[in-house]
Amino acid sequence: MTADTRQLILDTALRLFEERGYAGTTMRAIAAEAGVSPSNAYYWFASKDQLVQEFYRRIQVAHRDRSAGVLAGAGTLSERLMGVERAGLEVMAPYHGFGAAFVGTAIVPGATVSPFSEESAGARELSMEIYRDVVAGASPAVPARLAQVLPDLLWLAHLSVILYWVIDTSPDQERTHQLVDRSIPVLTSAVRVARLPGAARLVGQVGAVLDVVVPGRAS
């Protein structure tokens, strides 16, 4: 019953964020709409920020769960990434209307719900782990040099796909699916090219860029 209340408050909040915008939705309004007292709502979530943080975390858990099959199986790097990206789009599909509000909240400098924030470390780690797993379990194996940059690079690419998905107004976000479909062959070719001796320096340079932008990668 109490866990149900928590879920009800979260579901109500997501609906109101979508209908009225994040800034236009108060905790009191969420409580009223959910039919609980404000103090009950505040018992479960100290702020709207915590609601969005919980939403972000749940999406990552759902993404990992829906990717479990493809990650447990044997597959090429491309097959695994395709499976994981499709799983991600499936998990997010019901929340497309809320996407803009979420990104609008996450993009504020210092936002706790940013995928780059300290407060999001747990949710971020869940997501990054998926991409480490995509690379680690690939058959044939990804060369060691490349495996040092590829998981974080794929995580950043995933964030870019989500950004594009948010602004994608095509029916059922089919353009985003097209983007993913066409990006997979790029990955295949890039891995092949990265194996060439002439590409060693390039891989190292990509790592230096990741050190700047990926939280926890370099101190």
Binding site for a copy of itself (CB under 8 A): 21, 23-24, 96, 99-100, 103-104, 107-111, 114, 116, 160, 163-164, 166-169, 175, 178-179, 182-183, 185-186, 189-190, 192-193, 196, 198-199, 201-202, 205-206, 208-209, 211-213
Are 14 and 80 within 8 A, CB to CB?
no
Q: Min. distance of Cβ 5 from a copy of itself in angstroms?
A: 29
Q: Measure Cα distances from 201 to 161, 198, 208 in Å.
A: 27, 7, 11
Q: Min. distance of Cβ 41 from a copy of itself in angstroms?
A: 22
The helix/strand/coil state of 138 is: strand
DSSP letter at 141 equals P
CA angle, residues 89, 93, 98, in degrees to nearest 5:
120
Are 103 and 166 within 8 A, CB to CB?
yes
Q: Min. distance of Cβ 180 from a copy of itself in angstroms?
A: 10
- From the number of C-beta atoms within 10 Å of its C-beta (0-12, 13-18, 19+), residue 219 rates as exposed
Q: Min. distance of Cβ 195 from a copy of itself in angstroms?
A: 9
DSSP letter at 75 equals B
Nearer to a copy of itself, 74 or 182 (CB): 182
Longest dimension (CA), the chain: 65
Amino acid at 52: V
Nearer to a copy of itself, 7 or 189 (CB): 189
Q: Min. distance of Cβ 4 from a copy of itself in angstroms?
A: 31
Nearer to a copy of itself, 65 or 181 (CB): 181
For residues 133 and 144, give the distance between their C-alpha atoms in angstroms, rounded to a whole number: 14
Nearer to a copy of itself, 110 or 140 (CB): 110
Q: Min. distance of Cβ 114 from a copy of itself in angstroms?
A: 6
Nearer to a copy of itself, 79 or 137 (CB): 79
Nearer to a copy of itself, 31 or 106 (CB): 106
